């Protein structure tokens, strides 16, 4: 079995747990991007502390419509004024004139990026990384709607290997595991029941795991022609442990990891 010198640590739930109800002194440097059709994920996980503590906030084209609709549902006028992005970028084929006019009142920068060789999402990340040094970007989106757009979003996650990109959708948090050992820290009130390992970019050989209900032994190849690890779950002993807090995945290539969250537990 191949051994690696690199261990990647992933904390997908932490920022939401820390910033759900109160301010936090967390030193994590993170950005937030809103994509089109992100309505449900915004309703479930976007909070005032989470937004305030972000180093930079951007909307990709129609994502600005989603953010405006989200804020218009808030009762308190101060809260409505709180959720203002630093910029809106894209080819501007989805943002409405009403949304443009609304954010113009707050002097939000509108950045027209007409290049059709990259998606609005990809270009929005590029702008964010040009402006800020970040540890993580949280992207509010959805996997509902058009299948090709969902795949395009996953494709973008592969394009930025030097930064952690967490895709937050209606029920899941999805990100890319990099070659080597990956420790996914799961001890959180937000932890859901299911997780998956998906070889979307092609076959991945010699995958091994620890801490799952159905572990892979290192002799397994994940491949859409043969086997994917969907609807997996966590080992009961790991969940009961007071010491162990993570699932370990060893992979030789990039591999998509998706995990559900349960917002009801943290709202209780």
**pLDDT for 199:** 97
Contact yes or no for 190/261 (Cβ under 8 A): yes
**CA atoms within a 13 Å half-sphere pointing along the CA-CB vector of 257:** 28
For the entire predicted model, the pTM comes to 0.92
Residue 248 pLDDT greater than 90, yes or no: yes
Is residue 20 pLDDT above 60, yes or no? no
pLDDT higher than threshold 60 for residue 24: no
pLDDT score of 23: 52
Q: Would the pLDDT of 99 be above 80?
A: yes
Q: Do the beta carbons of residue 249 and residue 257 sit within 8 Å?
A: yes
Average pLDDT along the chain: 91
State percent of the chain over pLDDT 70. Answer: 94
The CA-based angle 52-136-57, given to 5 degrees, is 40
Q: Which residues pair with 194 in a beta bridge?
A: 233
Rounded Cα–Cα distance for residues 46 and 229 (Å): 29
pLDDT of residue 194: 97
Region 109-121: what's the mean pLDDT? 92
Phi, psi of 58 (to 5 degrees): -135, 155
Give dist(CA 146, CA 151) in Å, integer: 9
* pLDDT reading at 25 higher than 80: no
User: pLDDT digits over 188-205, tens only?
Assistant: 989 999 999 999 999 999
Which tens digits make up the pLDDT trace of 169-182? 999 999 999 999 99
For the chain, domains (ranges, CATH) are 7-267 (3.40.50.10240)
pLDDT, tens digit, 9 for 90 and up, residues 49-79: 999 999 999 999 999 999 999 999 986 767 7
């Amino acid at each position: 079995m191949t051994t690696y010198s690199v261990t990647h640590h992933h904390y997908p739930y932490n920022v939401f747990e820390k910033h759900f109800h109160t301010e936090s002194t967390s030193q994590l440097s993170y950005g937030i991007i809103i994509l089109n059709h992100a309505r449900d994920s915004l309703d479930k996980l976007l909070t005032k502390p989470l937004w305030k503590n972000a180093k930079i906030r951007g909307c990709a084209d129609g994502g600005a419509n989603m953010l405006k609709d989200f804020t218009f549902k808030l009762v308190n006028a101060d809260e409505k004024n709180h959720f203002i992005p630093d910029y809106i970028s894209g080819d501007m084929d989805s943002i409405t004139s009403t949304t443009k006019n609304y954010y113009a009142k707050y002097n939000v920068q509108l950045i027209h990026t007409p290049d059709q060789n990259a998606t609005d999402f990809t270009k929005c990340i590029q702008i964010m990384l040009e402006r800020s040094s970040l540890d993580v970007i949280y992207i509010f989106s959805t996997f509902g709607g058009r299948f090709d757009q969902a795949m395009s979003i996953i494709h973008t996650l592969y394009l930025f290997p030097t930064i952690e990109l967490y895709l937050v959708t209606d029920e899941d948090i999805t990100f890319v595991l990099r070659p080597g050992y990956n420790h996914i820290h799961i001890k959180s009130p937000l932890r859901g029941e299911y997780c998956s390992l998906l070889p979307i970019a092609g076959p991945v050989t010699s995958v091994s795991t620890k801490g799952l209900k159905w572990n892979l032994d290192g002799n397994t190849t994940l491949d859409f022609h043969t086997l994917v690890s969907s609807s997996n779950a966590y080992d009961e002993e790991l969940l009961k442990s007071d010491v162990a807090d993570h699932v370990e995945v060893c992979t030789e290539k990039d591999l998509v990891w998706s995990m559900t969250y349960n917002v009801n537990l943290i709202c209780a």
